[in-house]
Structure 1
Amino acid sequence: MVSKMKRLLIGRPMKNSELEGEKLSKLKALAVLSSDALSSVAYGTEQILIVLMAVGAAAAWYSIPISLAVLGLLVILIFSYRQTIYSYPTGGGAYIVAKDNIGLSSGLLAGGSLLVDYILTVAVSSSAGTDAITSAFPVLHDYRVLIALTMILLLTILNLRGITESASVLALPVYLFVFAIIVLIITGFIKYAMGGAEPAVPVEWGSAANNVSLFLLLKAFSSGCSALTGVEAVSNAIPNFRAPAEKNAAKTLIMMGSILGFMFIGISLLAYWYGIIPSEKETVVSQIANSVFGRGTIYYIIQGVTALILFLAANTAYSAFPLLAFMLAKDKFMPHMFLVRGDRLGYSNGIIFLGVLSAILVIAFHGNTEGLIPLYAVGVFIPFTLSQLGMMIRWIKLKPSGWHVKLLINTIGMLTTLSITLIFIFTKFSQVWAVFIFLPLVIWIFMRIHRHYIHVADQLRINIQEEKLQIKGSTVVVPIGGITSVVRNSLSYAKSLTDNVVAVYVGFDDDSIHKMEEKWEVWNPGVRLITLKSSYRSIVKPLIKFIDTVEWKKNETDHITILIPQFITKHWWQYVLHNQTSLLLRAYLFRHKDVVISTVTYHLDK
């Protein structure tokens, strides 16, 4: 039943030879890896306006120079990450760049930040998509968390089906969103130029606004930089591209940057021209669409594709998180389960892990996008800064042809992103303080995992030149509760392994022990029976004490095997009615004793 459901949800298993067919073309990669960055158009301008509105509507015109500054930073990042793509064509982005050029700790900080950022990407995207739906249909406002969780579940299943299939599904809504926003911007520009715009709150350019400080402007700028999250995804996921991977990735990055820049500055201009004010009940994009088209068919189409792209923006994380987790696991900083490809050739454990953690975040924050975005932005600007610094060090060390220009680009990028990171920390400390606890904790976990794997490797390693196989004898201990078909089956198997077999019976009184000895003598299976008396009615403790004795006597010359008889019931619910002693014994021995534990099963028909 479980297997059939799995096949229905994620499809048939794929062969290793089909992996090349899972690589992405530029158009599909743009849909998968750019959905996060492109979707930020839906809330980037809004985040700027939310900060500015703290001092009144007169400050709204500041959103335009701030948006231009964000656009300039986008250009710097695009050129910087283009250089990273060609320098590190195996992917990994900031983690690999920082680890190779700055040091292990910096690499882990970048990798940990990106992992956290990808988790937040899914949570923010699903929450923002829910906001777009509730803007169009306010009656659904109370169901925001449930809607977000449903979309996370659907995206997780979609990605478990494979990256190519998810790209095919994503391509249409992503390009529909781009087309819809471009139509909105062009129509809005034309309507404004023709004098058809009627701002709800008219604000003149350069008008005086009280209490506008440098601190406030920097806070608004840092909020607007949330529109740049997702820019690094292309450089992280180069292995997902078709050959030549680095060239296709670089072209995809340029396309993404161009589309994002045009849409972001376009939405910012429309928000200013039409006097849009942020609202808890309605997004900025919704208000712009309403002002340009009215609440007709086109408005609902724009809201629909906006909600869809915000949900699907999470797919960028589903593509990048498993790859980054794979690289960290390969370096022994994350569990080895993240190295394993699933039935559909994707890193399934990473996909499931991402879905579960992001769902927990949505529940914890009650689907409040604004509460998640500051953490989300800090999580991405730390790797931005470390990546730029790493590339600076690389150019200084290697000094390739034209390295001065490359160094200049990355230096400007590093100083800018470092400034943004510091602005975030100082202006939004009350919202991002958790990063200073969580990131060191993540790095500590990485180091603990790494140390464990190193210790395990040291203990398991052998010198094949010197250490030869030593053959020991074997003593098999079979705990029994009576003379049954299960016991007969277990003793038969034990005798096929060795002649040194001991059956152990625990009785609660002399009478039961005597009866068991008489029955055993009559049956005479050719196996020695040892009886133990338990005055405290415990079966496990006397067995453990006996095993300790055998282990101590035989440890140097024999392997000790505890062969536990167990029958398997026909129906799953019947299993809970039996086998408690065997489960307790197995659990204790597995954790505490240096013995071999084996189970001999006997299947019941009724």
Structure 2
Amino acid sequence: MGVSGTVKRTLVGRKLRSSQLGETLLPKRLALPIFASDALSSVAYAPDEIFLTLSMAGLSAYAFSWPIGVAVAVVMLTVVASYRQNVHAYPSGGGDYEVATVNLGPTAGLSVGSALLVDYVLTVAVSISSGVQNATAAIPFLEGHEALAASALVLVLMAINLRGTKESGRAFAVPTYLFMVAIIGMGLVGYFRYLTGTLPEVESAKFEMVPEAPYEGAVTTLAMVFLLARAFSSGCAALTGVEAISNGVPAFREPKSRNAATTLLMLGTIAITMLLSVIVLAQLMGLRYVEDPAHQLLLNGEPVGDGYVQDTVLGQLAGALYADLPPLFYFTIACTGLILVLAANTAFNGFPVLGSILARDGFLPRQLDTRGDRLAFSNGIVLLAVAAIVLILAFDAEVTRLIQLYIVGVFVSFTVSQLGMIRHWTRLLSTETDPAERRRMMRSRLVNGFGLAMTGVVLVIVLITKFLAGAWIAIAAMVAIFAVMRGIRRHYDLVNEELAIGDEDVSLPSRVHGIVLVSRLHKPTMRALAYAKVSRPSTLEAVTVQMDPERTRELLAEWDARDIKVPLTVLDSPYRELVRPVVRYVKERRKASPRDVITVYIPEYVVGRWWEQLLHNQTALRLKGRLLFMPGVMVTSVAYQLRSAKDRRPPTAGSAPGDVRRGYVGE
């Protein structure tokens, strides 16, 4: 095994056989942290976005924070109930894409697929960026280097997920459960101190808050409604990740659908409890959280200035509650930072599976449907990591800018999926005769109908309030991915149509004419000649290009001296070109006998070191590149292993990837 193979085994682990796929299935205790970490982590930034938006209208608007939280909770309960229907009806792992494709057609399915792909990339970018920003509260030297730190964390997550789903679940289970303990524990401490009259105020409670310019003075009803709608749409970021379980049903242990539905219920219950506890506690502790703290926060009537650093909502709550217990403060901040980083793991499980299904259907490159050494969809994992890093660097890891692109895709998929499930139940009801089963189906259709109404309203609100703020970028990306996937499918369809066997494909060519390319007479040339003879073409000739008349005369003399029974044709090259004369000659032979097949045998060295490849085979590569595009021409490389290739041969039968290409032949 080479150096690259050793490094790969160290990072990824030993290969798993395809028959070991069952060993990677997840129990509920591991599935919850893997698939629910995204939705749970929203507790760390969804309250921030609600308070940030409401702060535009001043402190009085904070009174709407808990009603907005309740509205978000109602939407989440509705979506969870709807997806519990999905995982039972479509347990194959296609999720919203499969529901839309089966019930609404390929165009709707592809729209959902493109929306989910964009949302998964944004999930990684937002979660990692938010985690780094939260960590900055406890690790000040990260300030100014957030994008670099976030990119490094994406690469770490990618490496962990390449080791397999179960391994990543074990790595992430403890931090996810610790985050639940930290946030629920903080809520219990806060409410206990509130009941006992000892609840402290957060540091920012001492500041006055100035509304932003459009909301100074009297605020019209229409402006306030728009502001509340925008705050609600930002809070709905808490729903991202709920759909991941429907895409990950195949990863659950049996009974898959029941375990997935149970995990969905646990996810909804825990996420809603944590979200509402943080929002209400922040209101009770006098939180002030604004977009421009240097100018919007006043102390004794004066702006606090650029020197003031505004911590996140959780950072301020934990700092006030645990002022006398620094270890608990750092524990809460550390758990928050970890869960935000690990929340991206939900996307690392959802994106590759969805990508593999789309690839299987011909909408994405087929390499995305290939499992890696650890039975994970490695190509999809790498693609997701690269896309997320590009996004993080482009937006400098700023959550406020990234979150404007967020949740559009997921609510597109929510809405279309609910419509698809309504069609699903309607179709089944048309043939079902059992009264009890019909009542169950009608209840399920009612749940999905209510879900369609709720998610549709949220989607409209999100589009109205966030379109100009940046959501148009996400929509443009969805449209672009949709067009690309349609183009890929069109290409695959054309190729399949072109490759379909017809009557003319079973007939044999009239003759096969063999051409052996000769540069000089040596062992590789003799091997190519011998192989060509054994292949028994109808006719056989050798061809050389004359660059130097003296060397050509020497070659002809040696050819005759060795009594080689293959005619040698010399092609003149007045401009000292090698490739063009050969290509022209082959074209002429094809034109003279269009029904014949021409096989060109090219002697080629096999070397053992990468830099040796730069010194050999360059002309052969250029020739193959030209000849492969000519119809009726077959190109055969006749390999000759140089000593460097033989010296690198392993002592036992080679089993590492690429051994055959490098010339390792097991003995």
TM-score by length of structure 2 reads 0.87
Worse overlay, 416-425 or 381-390: 416-425
How far apart, in 2, do the equivalents of 1:490 and 1:321 lie? 48
User: 1:269 pairs with 269, 274, 280, which one?
Assistant: 280
How far apart, in 2, do the equivalents of 1:202 and 1:413 lie? 42
Partner of residue 68, structure 2: 66
User: 2:375 pairs with 332, 338, 345, which one?
Assistant: 345
How far apart, in 2, do the equivalents of 1:600 and 1:336 lie? 30
Q: In structure 1, what residue type is equivalent to 2:628?
A: F
Worse overlay, 455-464 or 58-67: 455-464
Write the deviation string for residues 510-558 of structure 1: whole angstroms up to 9, x where unpaired: 444434323322233211111011111111110110111122334413x
User: 2:317 pairs with 288, 292, 301, which one?
Assistant: 288
Structure 2: gaps spanning 5 or more residues:
209-215, 291-308, 430-437, 645-667
How far apart, in 1, do the equivalents of 2:415 and 2:76 lie? 14
Worse overlay, 179-188 or 442-451: 442-451
Size of the alignment, in residue pairs? 602
CA contact under 8 A between 1:286 and 1:303: conserved in structure 2?
yes
How far apart, in 2, do the equivalents of 1:172 and 1:346 lie? 22
Partner of residue 97, structure 2: 95
User: 1:32 pairs with 31, 34, 50, which one?
Assistant: 34
Give 1:593 shift: 4.5
How far apart, in 1, do the equivalents of 2:502 and 2:580 lie? 39
Write the deviation string for residues 125-183 of structure 1: whole angstroms up to 9, x where unpaired: 11111111112112211221221112111111111111111111111111011111111
Give 1:397 shift: 2.5
Give 1:358 shift: 1.1
How far apart, in 2, do the equivalents of 1:515 and 1:210 lie? 99
Partner of residue 481, structure 1: 519
User: What's the Cα RMSD here?
Assistant: 2.2
Partner of residue 410, structure 1: 448
CA contact under 8 A between 1:41 and 1:263: conserved in structure 2?
yes
How far apart, in 2, do the equivalents of 1:467 and 1:541 lie? 30
Q: Secondary structure at the match of 1:342?
A: coil
How far apart, in 1, do the equivalents of 2:593 and 2:173 lie? 66
How far apart, in 2, do the equivalents of 1:591 and 1:471 lie? 19
Worse overlay, 427-436 or 468-477: 468-477
CA contact under 8 A between 1:113 and 1:382: conserved in structure 2?
yes
Write the deviation string for residues 245-286 of structure 1: whole angstroms up to 9, x where unpaired: 000000000000000000000010111111222367521111
Partner of residue 653, structure 2: none
Partner of residue 302, structure 2: none
How far apart, in 2, do the equivalents of 1:495 and 1:433 lie? 64
Partner of residue 569, structure 1: 607
How far apart, in 2, do the equivalents of 1:467 and 1:65 lie? 70
Partner of residue 342, structure 2: 312
Give 1:565 shift: 1.2
Partner of residue 144, structure 2: 142
Partner of residue 5, structure 1: 7
Give 1:107 shift: 0.8
Go from structure 1 to structure 2 and tell me whether the alpha carbon gap of 1:210 and 1:524 turns closer, same or farther (over 3 Å shift). Answer: farther
How far apart, in 1, do the equivalents of 2:195 and 2:60 lie? 22
How far apart, in 2, do the equivalents of 1:575 and 1:403 lie? 66
User: 2:531 pairs with 493, 498, 508, which one?
Assistant: 493
Q: In structure 2, what residue type is equivalent to 1:264?
A: L
Q: Secondary structure at the match of 1:598?
A: strand
Go from structure 1 to structure 2 and tell me whether the alpha carbon gap of 1:570 and 1:386 turns closer, same or farther (over 3 Å shift). Answer: closer
1:202-601 correspondence runs (5 A) = 210-211=218-219, 213-278=224-289, 281-294=310-323, 296-399=326-429, 400-430=438-468, 431-462=470-501, 468=506, 470=508, 473-498=511-536, 500-508=539-547, 510-557=549-596, 559-601=597-639
How far apart, in 2, do the equivalents of 1:144 and 1:93 lie? 34
Sequence identity of aligned pairs in percent? 38
CA contact under 8 A between 2:406 and 2:474: conserved in structure 1?
no
How far apart, in 1, do the equivalents of 2:218 and 2:442 lie? 45
Worse overlay, 506-515 or 283-292: 506-515
How far apart, in 2, do the equivalents of 1:462 and 1:543 lie? 31
Write the deviation string for residues 46-67 of structure 1: whole angstroms up to 9, x where unpaired: 0111111112233222111111
How far apart, in 2, do the equivalents of 1:78 and 1:571 lie? 56
Give 1:43 shift: 0.3
User: 2:196 pairs with 194, 197, 204, which one?
Assistant: 194
Q: Secondary structure at the match of 2:137?
A: helix
CA contact under 8 A between 1:325 and 1:350: conserved in structure 2?
yes
How far apart, in 1, do the equivalents of 2:370 and 2:511 lie? 37
Q: In structure 2, what residue type is equivalent to 1:421?
A: L
CA contact under 8 A between 1:509 and 1:533: conserved in structure 2?
no
Give 1:344 shift: 1.1
Q: Secondary structure at the match of 2:517?
A: strand
How far apart, in 2, do the equivalents of 1:254 and 1:202 lie? 40
CA contact under 8 A between 2:207 and 2:288: conserved in structure 1?
no
Write the deviation string for residues 450-472 of structure 1: whole angstroms up to 9, x where unpaired: 112222222222269x9746376
